[in-house]
Amino acid sequence: MTLVVVYHFLASLLLLLSATQISQIITHCTVPGTIALTFDDGPSAYTTQLLSLLASHNIQATFFIIGNDPSRGAISSPPWSGILQGMYAEGHQIASHSWAHQDLSTLGVDGVREEILRNEDAFKSVIGVVPTYFRCPYLRCGAASSLLTDFGYRVVDVSIDTKDYENNDASLIAVSKNKFQAELGWGGQGGGVVLAHDIHYQTVASLAEYMIMLVKERGLKAVTVGECIGDDRQGWYRS
């Protein structure tokens, strides 16, 4: 085998690996008739209210959790630890959103590794397992994508961003509702991965129920990210 042939073989292999890595970023559901409601940045003072709403509709969602927020402290301390334990027991999917919500695309390898591992330790201490799904803060992974893959994570992006973080006011939340309505599909096909935030009052008090009602009207079933891509609960976590 000549050096030229070897070079082309290696180049093709690298392209294949890159394509595989890109394909591992989850943006849409693959199970027909499903849609994934996801909530970032919690837990917060509003999370329990959201969990009650979801329970009343028999819906499980995916929560991308920040391990330590200066406004509330670490998830290993009460009441946050209890909220996460209840969330886990109720069948919701708990996923990682980094330790301190830093922009991973601006960090070096050591910084990214710390954001990953500190959250893993926190999850292990609270729910006894480590999530295998991860969403990068600000939806910016950069070079961190390869490190996340090395750590065994499935990276989740979004296909429907409600922009609730721009509309957290009673006079504005209709903007997020209208955006969701315009971008939501219909039953019979794989739906989107929806981004909202349980740290915003209007999301929990108004937007969440609106989304649930519209999902039902469209003939879709709201499930976790894992379920919407055909991954059973055993694949959501590792010990």
Identify whether 197 is a catalytic site residue. yes
Q: CA distances (Å), 136 to each of 102, 130, 210, in order?
A: 9, 16, 26
Whether 13 is covered by a domain: the verdict is no
Report yes or no: 132 and 238 within 8 Å, Cβ to Cβ. yes
Give me the catalytic one of 28, 40, 92, 164. 40
- Has this prediction a pTM greater than 0.85? yes
Q: What is the CATH number of the domain that holds 180?
A: 3.20.20.370
> What are 39's two structure tokens?
């909530």
Q: Which of 92, 101, 197, 200 is catalytic?
A: 197
Query: Would you say residue 122 lies in a domain?
Result: yes
189 domain residue, yes or no? yes
Tell me which long-range contacts 82-85 makes (C-beta under 8 A, separation of at least 24). Answer: 83/43, 83/47, 83/48, 83/51, 84/43, 84/126, 84/127, 85/126, 85/127
Question: Could you say which residues of the chain have pLDDT below 50?
Answer: 1, 3-23
Which tokens hold the place of 1? 């085998």
Q: How high does pLDDT run on average in the chain?
A: 91
Residue-level pLDDT at 7: 42
* Domain contains 8: no
pLDDT at residue 20 in the model: 41
pLDDT of residue 14: 40
Q: Is residue 28 part of a domain?
A: no
Instruction: Name the residue range of residue 93's domain.
Output: 34-238
Structure-token match 């997020």, residue found: 176
Radius of gyration of the chain (CA): 19
The number of distinct structural domains making up the chain is: 1
> Crossing angle, helix 208-217 and helix 173-183, to 10 degrees?
20
- Per-residue pLDDT of 59-106, as tens digits, reads 999 999 999 999 999 999 999 999 999 999 999 999 999 999 999 999
| CA 65/CA 21 separation, integer angstroms | 23
Q: Which DSSP string corresponds to 10-24? A: HHHHHHHHHHHHHHT
**Secondary structure letter of residue 90 according to DSSP:** T
Is residue 41 flagged as an active site residue? no
Whether residue 184 contacts residue 192, with contact meaning beta carbons closer than 8 Å, is answered with yes
